[in-house]
Amino acid sequence: MIKIAPSILSADFSDLRSALNLCDAGKADYIHIDVMDNHFVPNLTIGPAVVKSIRFVSKTYFDVHLMVTNPQGLLNAFAKAGANGITFHIEAVDNPGSLIDQIKSLKLEVGISLKPATPLEKITPFLDQIDRVLIMSVEPGFGGQKFIESSLDKIRQLNHILDQYRLQDRVEIEVDGGIKLENAQDVIG
């Protein structure tokens, strides 16, 4: 099933209410919330206080994408702020299994994200413990980048792996970056 998850990073930050109302009216499945720390990626975005504020505006599922060096330190704050799911970067943690357990203990869904150059083998041991895989189809840290075409191969490979492990109905694939009307059909496959 195809789901739509608009990113608030693309919204006018002076009018997030209107952007969220538009997402709700358009029946978005998720609101994708990019959190950047200016360390793991070279940009700085929002924190738990903003998520808490916008939670009052929208009841849509909040998918918080932590592009941060220390995701463990932010879990409780984002859970209290109203996140429904936390996605962390496999490249940012030494012990993914422990972080997965911490996220689940907060009653949140779990996602793992990979940068474009990171092989799928890094996440394979954790596939049966998570709810989604986020494939970055641009280098994380900035919006407006061009879609990296090799991401299509990674999506196909991940579909094959999920099928092989009989997880295709349980683990969602999310693709983030550079998706436009011109390439959306290729991404959906």
2, exposed or middle or buried, with CB in 10 Å at 0-12, 13-18, 19+?
A: exposed
Q: Are 131 and 107 in contact (CB under 8 A)?
A: no
Residue 100 belongs to what domain range?
Answer: 8-188
Q: pTM for this structure? A: 0.94
Does residue 2 fall inside a structural domain? no
Domain of 133, CATH number, reads: 3.20.20.70
How many domains does the chain fold into? 1
Does residue 3 fall inside a structural domain? no
Give exposure, 14-28, as e/b (b: 16+ Cβ within 10 Å): eebeebbeebeeeeb
189 residues of the chain, pLDDT tens digit each: 678 888 898 899 999 999 999 999 999 999 999 999 999 999 999 999 999 999 999 999 999 999 999 999 999 999 999 999 999 999 999 999 999 999 999 999 999 999 999 999 999 999 999 999 999 999 998 777 899 999 999 999 999 999 999 999 999 999 998 888 888 888 887
For residue 126, the model assigns a pLDDT of 98
| Catalytic residue from among 24, 34, 101, 186 | 34
| Catalytic residue from among 37, 63, 131, 176 | 176
Establish whether 34 is a catalytic residue.
yes
Q: Are 51 and 82 in contact (CB under 8 A)?
A: yes
For residue 188, the model assigns a pLDDT of 86
For residue 183, the model assigns a pLDDT of 84
